[in-house]
Structure 1
Amino acid sequence: MSASEDTDLERLSELARDRGLRMCVAESLTSGGLASTVGAGENASEWFAGGIVAYFTEVKERVLGLTPGTDPTSAECAEQLATGALRLFDADIAVSTTGVGGPDPQGGHPPGTVYLGWATAEGAGHRRLALTGGPEEVLDASVEAAVRLLAFHAEGLRPAGPRRGAEQSEDSASQ
């Protein structure tokens, strides 16, 4: 983990704990690397709902709601994966990764073409990255950028209100 990735993960962990946020990830390109990194955050068991790795397009469609025919290396795909994960994990924020790690082009996209998607209850969006280097460097840079994106969007979210399971039942009973 790089020094900036450590700092971003520390900031992410603090924001999640302080604001009572629930986070998740959906990965294609990074093959579980993002979930592994986020899961290493301080007290992650309290705020990291989990992640899903989906390489096959049919799994992305069936589990995460990707619209059939969507280019798997596109802004639309990244946003749909993040939105699907947000629903699947009942989270406050989700980030997704998709793209071409290399070393060869894929689907008409050059190696290093990466899309990060994000989703919250307020909306969804994406970030396009044009990375250089070998496959390992592209994956590492993608994970680092995705952690930074999670922290950025966590900063904009207010503390979570009463919701989910027992918390919701307890709050309803006390009113």
Structure 2
Amino acid sequence: MDFESKITSREISEILWDTEKTVGTAESCTGGRIAEAIISVPGASKYFKGGIVSYVDEIKENLLGVDHLLLEEKTAVCEEVAVAMVKGACKALNTNYAIAATGFAGPTGGTKDIPVGTIWLACGSLDRVVTLKVEEDHGRDINLAIATNTVMDLFLNFLKEENEPRPVREG
């Protein structure tokens, strides 16, 4: 794991530790790399409950509750599936938050419409999920590293927004 992702993991750790919130992961193409990044910080067991590696659609459906018709109509590599994976992981793992990734890391698996290197990233809660699409193919290992680092940054920014003080309204 690179230095930048360790810093991001530590920042995420501090926020989750301070807010006493929990997180889990739902990973397809990243195969556990996001979970690995989270647990790289000592004490992660206080806020990280676990992860589901849902490499095939069957697991996305059965463990994460992703709709079968959605998978048939749009494939597993779409924004809607990434959102469903976050919500499904929050429910299945009983966490406040979840982080998800689904895509084609390569070198094969892509289609004309969804080329290799397309990875949908998502994070959030049952009430709010943010997404981001990564689209460039740099080869499998780099694609997976980019996806992991990018979704960790996305989650850190999500947590900062969720936990910033709200202005008090008068009147």
TM-score between both structures, scaled by the size of structure 1: 0.85
Task: Provide, for residues 92-114 of structure 1, a one-character-per-residue CA deviation record: whole Å limited to 9, x for no partner.
Answer: 11110000101134244211101
**Among candidates 122, 127, 137, match of residue 127 of structure 2:** 122
Relative distance call for 1:121 and 1:67 in structure 2 (3 A) is closer
Higher mean alpha-carbon deviation, 70-79 vs 124-133, is at 124-133
Q: What residue in structure 1 maps to residue 33 of structure 2?
A: 33
Whether contact under 8 Å (1:78, 1:97) holds in the other structure is: yes
* AA matched with 1:65: G
* AA matched with 1:68: H
1:12-23 alignment runs, 5 A limit: 12-23=12-23
Shift of 1:5: 0.8
Distance 1:92 1:47 in 2: 10
Whether contact under 8 Å (2:124, 2:155) holds in the other structure is: no
Distance 2:101 2:28 in 1: 6
**Among candidates 81, 85, 89, match of residue 81 of structure 1:** 85
TM-score between both structures, scaled by the size of structure 2: 0.86
Shift of 1:17: 0.6
Task: Provide, for residues 8-40 of structure 1, a one-character-per-residue CA deviation record: whole Å limited to 9, x for no partner.
Answer: 111011111111110111000101111111111
Q: Report percent identity of matched pairs.
A: 25
Any runs of at least 4 consecutive aligned residues in structure 1 with deviations exceeding 3 A, and if so which? none
Whether contact under 8 Å (2:29, 2:102) holds in the other structure is: yes
Q: What residue in structure 2 maps to residue 59 of structure 1?
A: 59
Q: Tell me, what secondary structure is at the counterpart of 2:137?
A: coil
Q: What residue in structure 1 maps to residue 100 of structure 2?
A: 96
Q: Tell me, what secondary structure is at the counterpart of 1:97?
A: strand
Q: Tell me, what secondary structure is at the counterpart of 2:99?
A: strand
Q: What residue in structure 2 maps to residue 164 of structure 1?
A: none
Whether contact under 8 Å (1:93, 1:153) holds in the other structure is: no
* AA matched with 1:86: C
Q: Tell me, what secondary structure is at the counterpart of 2:110?
A: coil
RMSD: 1.6
Task: Provide, for residues 31-85 of structure 1, a one-character-per-residue CA deviation record: whole Å limited to 9, x for no partner.
Answer: 1111111111231010101111011111111110111132101001100011100
Distance 1:79 1:46 in 2: 25
Whether contact under 8 Å (1:93, 1:154) holds in the other structure is: no
Distance 2:41 2:151 in 1: 14
